Amino acid sequence: MHPPTLLLLGSGELGKEVAISAKRLGCRVVAVDSYDHAPAMQVSDAREVIDMLHAPSLRRAVRRHVMPGEGFIVPEIEAIRTEELLALERRGYSVVPSARAANLTMNRDAIRDLAASRLRLPTARFAYAQSAAELQASITGKKGTGLPAVVKPVMSSSGKGQSDVKCAGDIAAAWDYAVSSMRGDRPRVIAEEFIDFDYEITLLTIRQRPIVAGKRVPEARRTLFVRPIGHRQERGDYQESWMPCPMKPALVRAARRMARTITAEIAGPSGAGLFGVEFFVRGNGVIFSELSPRPHDTGMVTMISQDLSEFDLHVRAILGLPIPPIRYEKAAASAVILSPGPIAGPPDFPGVEKALAAPGVQVRLFGKPSARKYRRMGVALAVGPSAAAARKAATRAASLVRVVPRVTPKAARRAR
Ligand SMILES: Nc1ncnc2c1ncn2[C@@H]1O[C@H](COP(=O)(O)OP(=O)(O)O)[C@@H](O)[C@H]1O
Ligand SMILES: [Mg+2]
């Protein structure tokens, strides 16, 4: 039998690690993205540069590399024409974890409606708006979220277009900012009650195939969990994450119950893969926030915290391979390396030697071909005797790595 093909829709840093995990198990990997030289393309067998929101281009790329019943379509980002994935799935193609999961999580409203209205998971109060006036009503109106609130485009990720609304005077600016930074052509935002949480976590949740290594998996064992990951966000974007994240057992159970319910629902009867399920914890309450039907950025800490990273787990779940209990380090952390501003070509990373000199520290540079302000260019990983120590080590390593324009030999000669 020839090795299975994984067609990655999205070729960022998470896709790159999925590609590496899949290559280690002998898969053929095709990396797709809207720009060339994307991180996952650098470690794949083939690549496609297409607009993944354009259905015919997406269909052509899929047909060129995978066949119905053979190989897997693995979405790595949200901005994909997911209706096309639904159509491909109907024709026998295998979408990870399912086309419905990709479709429901493409926009914040679909998944929020499912979680809150159908599955009755506790969430922040929320309302949608399609104009500045509607946004005003959805925050300050009788059935509104109240103040303070958080406003996000329904189509966005990594904090793009997200802002805090502290008073009614902030609403117009929040609308303009959301609309200017959203994807798609449908101006629509979600307003959420601001949750003053004690901490927030990602619960990596694995949905296994109904049959693993030839054996039927009982429903109770279909869903597996990684220990909760604590994380800190700025501008709606992840800055650092760590394990362990101490949490009362009853709260872990509550989060697991919710994660199991929603992932089983959207994966469908035979869907498999890893999910990042996000929760806010406040007092004795666990509040569902959102989920990704794929590895999560805060889960990059699993590259150092344990023997099977979230990428390994995703690939094993996709291929229907066994997942024995995970072995964990005592404590581990990750901290992002961001670009301070726009850089036209591939940057240089002075200071990386210093960062790598510390024991227990690793650095991953993603190889992105250019940068813009706050673009994530790498991540520092560290283990330590405690989560606090690991966070300190990872943050220090990340701060040592600078992201600067590359000085070509020619420019250096000119400068002399
Ligand atoms: N209702 C809220 N209350 C408090 N903080 C929030 C709320 N919604 C989002 N945030 C903060 O912003 C971050 C990003 O929001 P999220 O909904 O996860 O969007 P994204 O899809 O960009 O990750 C969250 O991890 C959290 O720190
Ligand atoms: Mg999030």
CA–CA separation, 346 vs 366, rounded Å?
A: 10
Determine the pLDDT at residue 184. 75
Tell me the CATH number at 377. Answer: 3.90.600.10
- The yes-or-no verdict on residue 2 having pLDDT over 70 is no
Residue nearest to atom 23 of ligand 1 (CA): 158
- 127 three-state secondary structure: strand
Structure tokens at 267: 């994966």
Share of the chain above pLDDT 90, in %: 94
Q: How confident is the model at residue 242 (pLDDT cuts 50, 70, 90)?
A: very high
Determine the pLDDT at residue 97. 98
Determine the pLDDT at residue 415. 75
Q: How confident is the model at residue 409 (pLDDT cuts 50, 70, 90)?
A: confident
Task: Give the residue among 289, 231, 284, 293 at the shortest CA–CA distance from 258.
Answer: 289
Cβ neighbours of residue 9 closer than 8 Å, sequence gap 6 or more:
32, 52, 58, 73, 74, 75, 76, 77, 80
* 157 Cβ below 6 A of ligand 1: yes
Rg for the chain (alpha carbons), in Å? 21
Over residues 368-390, mean pLDDT: 98
* 278 Cβ below 6 A of ligand 1: yes
Determine the pLDDT at residue 416. 76
Q: Is residue 40 part of a domain?
A: yes
- 373 three-state secondary structure: coil
Structural domains counted in the chain: 3
| 34, 9 contact by CB (below 8 A) | no
Q: Is residue 371 part of a domain?
A: yes
Over residues 310-321, mean pLDDT: 98
- The yes-or-no verdict on residue 72 having pLDDT over 70 is yes
Q: How confident is the model at residue 408 (pLDDT cuts 50, 70, 90)?
A: confident
Instruction: Give the Å distance between the CA of 236 and the centre of ligand 1.
Output: 6
Statement to judge: residues 2 and 76 lie in one domain: yes
Residue nearest to atom 15 of ligand 1 (CA): 236
Report the phi/psi class of residue 198: left, alpha or beta, with left for phi > 0 and alpha for psi in -120 to 50: alpha
Over residues 304-329, mean pLDDT: 98
Over residues 262-276, mean pLDDT: 98
Q: How confident is the model at residue 258 (pLDDT cuts 50, 70, 90)?
A: very high
Query: In one letter, which amino acid is 77?
Result: I
Statement to judge: residues 1 and 80 lie in one domain: yes
Statement to judge: residues 89 and 168 lie in one domain: no
- The yes-or-no verdict on residue 245 having pLDDT over 60 is yes
Over residues 95-120, mean pLDDT: 97
Q: What tens digit of pLDDT does each residue of 197-231 get? A: 999 999 999 999 999 999 999 999 999 999 999 99
CA–CA separation, 174 vs 332, rounded Å?
A: 36
- The yes-or-no verdict on residue 351 having pLDDT over 70 is yes
The position carrying tokens 């301070």 is 340
- CB burial readout 212-222, b (16+ within 10 A) else e: beeeebeeeeb
CA–CA separation, 405 vs 382, rounded Å?
A: 26
Cβ neighbours of residue 155 closer than 8 Å, sequence gap 6 or more:
78, 79, 106, 107, 108, 182, 183, 184, 186, 188
CA–CA separation, 223 vs 207, rounded Å?
A: 5
Statement to judge: residues 82 and 135 lie in one domain: no
* 150 Cβ below 6 A of ligand 1: yes
Statement to judge: residues 80 and 19 lie in one domain: yes
CA–CA separation, 248 vs 261, rounded Å?
A: 20
CA–CA separation, 217 vs 220, rounded Å?
A: 8
Q: How confident is the model at residue 1 (pLDDT cuts 50, 70, 90)?
A: low
Q: Is residue 85 part of a domain?
A: yes
User: What pairing do the DSSP bridges indicate for beta strands 215-216 and 211-212?
Assistant: antiparallel
Q: Is residue 3 part of a domain?
A: yes
Determine the pLDDT at residue 3. 82
CA–CA separation, 38 vs 366, rounded Å?
A: 9
Task: Establish whether 297 is a catalytic residue.
Answer: yes
Task: Give the residue among 334, 343, 341, 339 at the shortest CA–CA distance from 379.
Answer: 334
Name the H helices within 132-283.
Answer: 132-140, 171-180, 219-222, 249-267
* Ligand 1 nearest-atom number relative to CA 278: 18
Tell me the CATH number at 48. Answer: 3.40.50.20
86's enclosing H/E stretch is helix 82-90
Structure tokens at 388: 């606090």
Over residues 268-274, mean pLDDT: 97
Catalytic residue among 113, 290, 329, 348: 290
Task: Give the residue among 171, 236, 162, 245 at the shortest CA–CA distance from 201.
Answer: 245
DSSP 114: I
What Å distances lie between residue 317 and 29, 54, 221, 312, 326, CA to CA? Answer: 16, 29, 13, 9, 14
Tell me the CATH number at 166. Answer: 3.30.1490.20
Instruction: Give the Å distance between the CA of 383 and the centre of ligand 2.
Output: 24
Statement to judge: residues 45 and 135 lie in one domain: no
Q: What tens digit of pLDDT does each residue of 389-400 get? A: 999 999 999 999
Determine the pLDDT at residue 81. 95
Instruction: Give the Å distance between the CA of 156 and the centre of ligand 1.
Output: 11
Domain that holds residue 390: 331-400
* 200 Cβ below 6 A of ligand 1: yes
Statement to judge: residues 343 and 394 lie in one domain: yes
Task: Establish whether 157 is a catalytic residue.
Answer: yes
CB 125: neighbour CB atoms within 10 A?
16
Task: Give the residue among 116, 115, 123 at the shortest CA–CA distance from 262.
Answer: 115
CA–CA separation, 328 vs 342, rounded Å?
A: 38
Q: Is residue 155 part of a domain?
A: yes
Q: What tens digit of pLDDT does each residue of 43-70 get? A: 999 999 999 999 999 999 999 999 999 9
Average pLDDT, rounded, for the chain? 96
